[in-house]
Structure 1
Amino acid sequence: MNCLLYFYILVGLSIVLSGMVAFVSKRKHLLSVLFSLEYMVLGIFVLFMFFLIVYNSEVFFSLIFLTLAVCEGVLGLSILVSLVRSHGNDYFMSYNILQC
């Protein structure tokens, strides 16, 4: 059980860290940033589920986490659609945040 514990922690942390690397390195398009954020959320979900199962806690909290993760994803996609409609592309360099 101890070896399996370390394996799941390592898998979850590697998912989160690789998502962070993708988040930092692939900042040209907004869609790639959103994909890396969702990948990090998936890694956090793996860690969260594993810790809930190990400590015999309620797994119901994972449904709340998934609900919030889906809301975050929908919000990001709606921002992506509105930016593509207003600017015509999803490049970060073409957006000027100071203009309204």
Structure 2
Amino acid sequence: MSVLFFSGVFVYCMKYKHFLIMLLSLEVVVLSIFISFLCFFSFFNLEVFTSIIYLAMSVCEGALGLSLLVLIIRTHGSDMILNFDLLW
């Protein structure tokens, strides 16, 4: 599971050209944390209700990210992050 987490962080840090790729790598990180929670809670025979709450919050985060993506594409015409940099 740590491989999934670190691969998501690596893609987020190295491939920051498009906003969609950044959102997808953040979702990989969130899902790897969810799987870790689920394994931890099932290993110690604890309630998995906390992981379901975490999954609901991550779904809300994904919907917010997609709405931001649609807003950015409608206003600027593309999802390239480098277009928003004021130093270029």
1:94 has 2:60 as partner: no
Matches within 5 A, 1:61-72: 61-72=50-61
Aligned residues: 86
Q: Could you say which structure has the larger radius of gyration?
A: 1
After TM superposition, the runs of 4+ consecutive aligned structure 1 residues lying more than 4 A away are none
TM-score norm. by structure 1 comes to 0.82
RMSD: 1.1
| 1:78 aligns with one of 60, 67, 88 | 67
Distance 1:72 1:55 in 2: 28
Q: Which runs of 5+ in 2 are unaligned?
A: none
1:36 has 2:36 as partner: no
| Structure 1 residue 49 displacement after superposition | 0.3
Distance 2:32 2:49 in 1: 18
Q: Residue deviations 1:31-62, cap 9 Å, x none?
A: 00000000011110111100000111101111
Which residue does the alignment assign to 1:7? none
State, as a whole percentage, how many aligned pairs show the same letter.
43
Amino acid at match of 1:16: F
Q: Which runs of 5+ in 1 are unaligned?
A: 1-11
Greater relative contact order (Cα 8 A, min sep 6): structure 1 or 2? 2
Which residue does the alignment assign to 2:7? 18
Distance 1:45 1:14 in 2: 14
